[in-house]
Copies of this chain bind each other. A is one copy, B any other.
Amino acid sequence: MRQTGSFRPLDFDESTATAEPWERLHELIAAGQPAAILPFLTSLAPGETARAMDRLSEGDQLALMTLLAPEDAADVLDTMTDGQAADLVEEMSAEQAAAIVQELPSAMQADLLGDLEDEDAQAILSNMRVPRRTEALRLMAYEPDTAGGVMMTEYLAYREDQAVADVIEDLRANADRYQDFDIQYAYVLGERDRLVGVLRLRDLLLTAPNVGVASIMIRDPLRVADNTTIEDLKRFFDEHAFYGIPVVDQDDRLVGVVRRAAVERGLNQRATQTFLAASGIVGDEELRSMPMVFRAKNRLSWLSLNIILNVIAASVITLFQDTLSAVVILAVFLPIISDMSGCSGNQAVAVSIREMSLGLLRPYEYMRVVIKEGSLGILNGVALGIVLGALAFLWKGNIWLSLVVFLALAINTLIAVLAGGLIPLLIKRLKFDPAVGAAPLLTTVTDMCGFLLVLGLATMVLDKLV
């Protein structure tokens, strides 16, 4: 452990807020005092660095990166979100960026370079030291949500003909470098770097130095293929109490180690992205410190799809202008019925996405969804229909109006939960992200059907309504 002392959590009491840390940081940067900046950054409570960086102007951020030593700059970069870090690195010269990027842990390095424009990434790579560059290129070739995409290359490996004494000597000689590895296993490689065993470092304690590692290693250990998905990794760690698992390529060569925390982190990022996508923040993550035009454009790209779908759905209403003219209060029920069905459908969307991500529902199990959502949809549709029908009767005293409202909401709720349950499966089978497309498609269905039901049913009993 490189630091001592107690950990000071962030103080959220605004009444004590004086100058904000980024204001002080801005002053130090403006004064160009490299000697004062590092102690100041170190003095900040965890999280304060992230917030200070978020609030600094891009100019200040760049100046700070130049004032700090590359390894300290890398630590600061590490506190920023992936998008922020990529934006900042793209503003640097390739030389400066390379010096900082090669100080990042291997997994983060590949993620960051992958987030950059191809040109920028190439320029930075060509300025990196050869071993780091080779490693980064190798890691960047993997899909992000696979074992290769989340593994790290900081691990210990020895050859099977080495002795315990060799391992201990290596540990001693490289103690400083291995400090950051934080590992308790070493891997044993056979010919052509094939993984043949795993060595519990603790076992070295109990073994004479002249014994060969091959005789105390655990042979033929569990391993995962480099293309194992993050969901399968999650299941693996659910079933095994390991901190990490070695990753091999198709020739069974050791290529990295996936830690349990990296898997949880990947799933955390995915869950966050699902929430953002379902809320209409699609593509790049948005933070309010980003340029306004970028934010507006990003949000508009999603909204313009929605406005088209909305107009299509609402055009159903134009088919029933005569009915609406005759019974204008129907206009009150149109948004209620379409909104409520949208809510019911969204619940079913969320359950389908969640069940698929847990591995409990497979994308081809349509019938299960139809049965489970259908029965619930009838129950909830009737319940909600009765409530709205009763309100309509209390308001207008017309049993036919209340029947129209009841039927429209009951039937549309059933349609909504069926559509909501099934749409994510369809999108998943088409290899798209269900969180992105489900809500707009669902709303179009529930709006169109809702308008059609209210106005269609009303037209059928028009003489009873006027």
Contact = CB atoms under 8 A, between A and B. Distances in A.
A355 interface: yes
Contacts of A359: 10, 47, 50-51
B354 A384 contact: no
Nearest to A4: B220
Nearest to A286: B351
* A310, A318, A330 interface centre (most CB from chain B within 10 Å): A310
A1 B380 contact: no
B344 A299 contact: yes
Contacts of A391: 311
Interface residues of A, number: 144
B324 A331 contact: yes
A350 B275 contact: yes
A38 B417 CA distance: 38
Interface string A35-79: 000000000001101110010000000000000000000010011
Contacts of A292: 372, 375-376, 379
A274 interface: yes
A362 interface: yes
Contact of A376 (B205, B206, B295): B295
Contacts of A6: 222-225
A393 interface: no
B12 A362 contact: yes
A321 B329 contact: yes
B336 A338 contact: no
A98 interface: no
A314 B329 CA distance: 11
A303 B339 contact: no
Interface of A: 1-7, 9-10, 12, 14, 46-47, 49-51, 54, 75, 78-79, 81, 105, 168, 171-172, 180, 182-184, 198, 201-202, 204-206, 218-225, 228-229, 231-232, 235-236, 238-243, 245, 259-261, 264-265, 267-268, 271-272, 274-276, 278-281, 285-289, 292-293, 295-296, 299-300, 302-304, 306-307, 310-311, 313-315, 317-318, 321, 324-325, 328-336, 338-340, 343-344, 346-347, 349-351, 353-355, 358-364, 368-369, 372-373, 375-376, 379-380, 383-384, 387-388, 391, 435, 443, 447, 451
Nearest to A455: B331
A313 to B, nearest CB: 8
A360 B51 contact: yes
A12 B363 CA distance: 9
A303 B384 contact: yes
16 contacts: A46-B232, A78-B239, A182-B242, A183-B184, A184-B184, A201-B205, A261-B264, A264-B265, A271-B274, A276-B350, A281-B351, A286-B351, A287-B354, A295-B376, A303-B380, A307-B388
A98 to B, nearest CB: 22
A422 to B, nearest CB: 13
